[in-house]
Amino acid sequence: MPSAPAIGTLNEAPLHAALKAWYAASGAQTEVIVDGYVIDLLQDGVLVEIQTGNFRAIRRKLIALTAAGHPVRLVYPRMACWWRFRRGTSARSGVN
């Protein structure tokens, strides 16, 4: 499947772009068009979609791609550790 450069990168958030770059480092193709949809990555025959917001935004896309028989991996980052900084104090961290 041909790769189309920079189709969906204009409105990409920094977290989304960083995750895409991390996955792409393994040799995955980025911004691939499959069945009329722009897919974040194609890695070893699996369509990889990175979603940092709610799932409603890509619901129709996921339903269409899986119904067509495409294997899809949905990447949804989840916070494992948080840091809070206050002026004039040291950093405090917590783990969820």
Give the domain CATH number at 62: 3.40.960
**Model confidence pTM above 0.75:** no
Tens-of-pLDDT digits for all 96 residues of the chain?
444 445 555 567 888 899 899 888 888 899 999 999 999 999 999 999 999 888 898 999 999 999 999 999 999 988 888 888 877 755 555 555
Structure tokens at 89: 């104090």
pLDDT at 86: 79
pLDDT at 1: 45
pLDDT at 25: 84
pLDDT at 5: 42
Q: Is residue 21 part of a domain?
A: yes
Residue 46 CA to residue 54 CA, distance in Å, equals: 22
pLDDT at 27: 86
Q: Which residues is 34 bridged to in the sheet? A: 37
Q: Is residue 7 part of a domain?
A: no
Q: Is residue 54 part of a domain?
A: yes
Q: Which domain holds residue 81?
A: 14-95
Residue 1 CA to residue 31 CA, distance in Å, equals: 11
Q: Is residue 34 part of a domain?
A: yes
Residue 28 CA to residue 25 CA, distance in Å, equals: 7
pLDDT at 94: 58
Q: Among 23, 24, 37, 26, which Cα is nearest to 75's?
A: 23
